[in-house]
Amino acid sequence: MTATKRRHDLVIAANRLPVDRITAPDGSVSWGRSPGGLVTAMDSVMRERGGAWVGWDGEAGSATRLFTHESMYLRPVALSAAEVEEYYEGFSNDTLWPIYHDVIVQPSFHRDWWRTYVSVNQRFADAVAEVAAEGATVWVQDYQLQLVPRMVREQRPDLRIGWFNHIPFPAVELFAQIPWRRAILEGLLGADFLGFQRQADAQNFVRACRRLLQVTTRKDTVTMLGRDGSSHTTRASAIPISIDYRGLETLAKSPAVVDRAAELRHQLGDPRILMLGVDRLDYTKGIRHRLKAYEELLQDKAIQPPDVTLVQVATPSRERVDAYRELRQQVETTVGRINGEYAPIGSPAVHYQHHSYPQEEMAALYLAADVMLVTPLRDGMNLVAKEYVTCRHDLGGALVLSEFTGAYHELHQAFVCNPHDIEGLKQTILKAINTPAHDKARIMKALRRRVADHDVDRWATRFLDALAVAPNRPEASIRAHQRHTMARRA
């Protein structure tokens, strides 16, 4: 439905709109809500405040017009095919992504990509400035939009601006490789509050500002002086993201999902131990390390199919970026070799799935899996770990979790591993298999309690509260905040 132009008290800006385009055979277009925690988290607060969402609709060259979907106001930002290539696949996913994930693969630096990143960020900022009411709250998401906070502030000093980083923020020694490092930090310092997954990420950001800019830092704040003598202070702190615990737990308890979990185990040959990996096919996720440990366990005869089997869901991702194409080839070669060497006919050692599944099927897989392997080399949070424990309402199962994930800082009772240490990883997998059921149940209970108490609603509320009380308080935003507090009480 097309919406008339109006101004909004809350504006979310994210690379993607929270909807997916559905094109019918007759060519007509409709929209379906995209799955995912961010959309769910924003749902109630967007409804409460009549919020607007600024983002790309996922297709190159689409027309820009405002529309509403399930009472959310959506403001599409158009991107040409060249912009998708340079701003999104290039600068975001082939420059920033590897740098922010500890240079697991070599980043590419291209001045053209950077120029497009700047102009696309400006387009997002202009759209935010256009739809935000006086004193509104603006919440910018992720590494694709790091210049937006400053660009918005330059046009609209009355707004309160927050930004959340879904991925890690690297150590200054790595961040400093970026030729445009100062512009990125200054872009972020346009915000009042910056949220990170871990305290270490927030500290890395403050340290980078101290080392690379002329600013004053004090604990978790950075103050920048303007040329006109004005100053602006930004606070940087950890607000770890989470999932819709109650929604997913309800789904996992539904008879359809419980039955499907049993059926899946049967289809897989009723293994004694079913292991599971669920990841976007990304080099940060440690899929190759996981497969190496698994292959060596088979080689050592510590495990054997059909007694043990592994399902690896590797959702297609960024397939036009070289590093991702190479990873896919390596993973598929390894899976082929493992099955060729170690699997009897009819009982694969690895069931490799290179496609995505509906959420019900994911919940059934989680519920069916005895050991969940979450082994990233670096990961901002890793929601899969939280989803797995949420689905295990029966207190069965064991989570093997890399210490290089944000999730580890909340779920440290899990079977913790260093994925670089293949010998250690093998031992941790065996420990997860062999620990007595009552000990595993005790661990699972503690993990579930943590996620239940720190769900995605709590994340969104904590972020917006931190933003509301961040150091700079323009008069207009104080008035807007008071309006909401009074409306909520009424």
Give the Å distances, CA to CA, from 356 to 380, 395, 466: 21, 26, 35
Q: Taking the complex as a whole, how short is the minimal distance between the CB of residue 163 and ligand GDG, in angstroms? A: 13
**Radius of gyration of the chain, Cα coordinates, nearest whole angstrom:** 23
Q: Is 357 in the site for ligand GDG (CB under 6 A)?
A: yes
Does residue 374 sit in helix, strand or coil? strand
Residues in 150-179 that interact with ligand GDG by CB under 6 A: 166-167
Stretch that binds ligand GDG, among 1-9, 351-359, 431-439, 463-471 (CB under 6 A): 351-359
Q: Taking the complex as a whole, how short is the minimal distance between the CB of residue 387 and ligand GDG, in angstroms? A: 5
Do 428 and 440 touch, CB atoms closer than 8 A? no
User: Considering only residues 186, 370, 387, 410, which one is a binding residue for ligand GDG as defined by CB under 6 A?
Assistant: 387
User: Considering only residues 381, 443, 444, 470, which one is a binding residue for ligand GDG as defined by CB under 6 A?
Assistant: 381
Q: Is 280 in the site for ligand GDG (CB under 6 A)?
A: yes
Q: Taking the complex as a whole, how short is the minimal distance between the CB of residue 127 and ligand GDG, in angstroms? A: 23
Q: Is 379 in the site for ligand GDG (CB under 6 A)?
A: yes
Stretch that binds ligand GDG, among 66-74, 125-133, 208-216, 379-387 (CB under 6 A): 379-387
Q: Of the two residues 189 and 278, which places its CB atom closer to ligand GDG in the complex?
A: 278
Q: Taking the complex as a whole, how short is the minimal distance between the CB of residue 101 and ligand GDG, in angstroms? A: 8
Name the nearest CA neighbour of 410 among 459, 348, 369: 459
Q: What CA–CA distance (Å, rounded) separates 4 from 14? A: 21
Q: Is 362 in the site for ligand GDG (CB under 6 A)?
A: yes
Give the pair of three-digit tokens for residue 341.
């060497």
Q: Is 384 in the site for ligand GDG (CB under 6 A)?
A: yes
Residues 6+ apart with CB under 8 A from 228: none
Q: Is 195 in the site for ligand GDG (CB under 6 A)?
A: no
Do 282 and 93 touch, CB atoms closer than 8 A? no
Q: What CA–CA distance (Å, rounded) separates 133 from 159? A: 8
Q: Which is it for the CA torsion 330, 333, 336, 342, positive or negative?
A: negative
Q: What CA–CA distance (Å, rounded) separates 167 from 349? A: 32
Q: Is 42 in the site for ligand GDG (CB under 6 A)?
A: no
- Name the residue with tokens 């094109």: 23
Name the nearest CA neighbour of 380 among 38, 84, 58: 38
User: Considering only residues 32, 35, 316, 344, which one is a binding residue for ligand GDG as defined by CB under 6 A?
Assistant: 35
Q: Count other Cβ atoms within 10 Å, centred on residue 12.
A: 25
Q: Taking the complex as a whole, how short is the minimal distance between the CB of residue 362 and ligand GDG, in angstroms? A: 5
Q: Of the two residues 199 and 315, which places its CB atom closer to ligand GDG in the complex?
A: 315
Give the pair of three-digit tokens for residue 460.
């969104």
User: Considering only residues 80, 108, 359, 461, which one is a binding residue for ligand GDG as defined by CB under 6 A?
Assistant: 359
Q: Of the two residues 95 and 382, which places its CB atom closer to ligand GDG in the complex?
A: 382
Q: Taking the complex as a whole, how short is the minimal distance between the CB of residue 80 and ligand GDG, in angstroms? A: 25
Q: What CA–CA distance (Å, rounded) separates 292 from 86? A: 34
Q: Is 383 in the site for ligand GDG (CB under 6 A)?
A: yes
Q: Which residues bind ligand GDG (CB under 6 A)?
A: 35, 166-167, 241, 278, 280, 313, 315, 356-359, 362, 379-384, 387
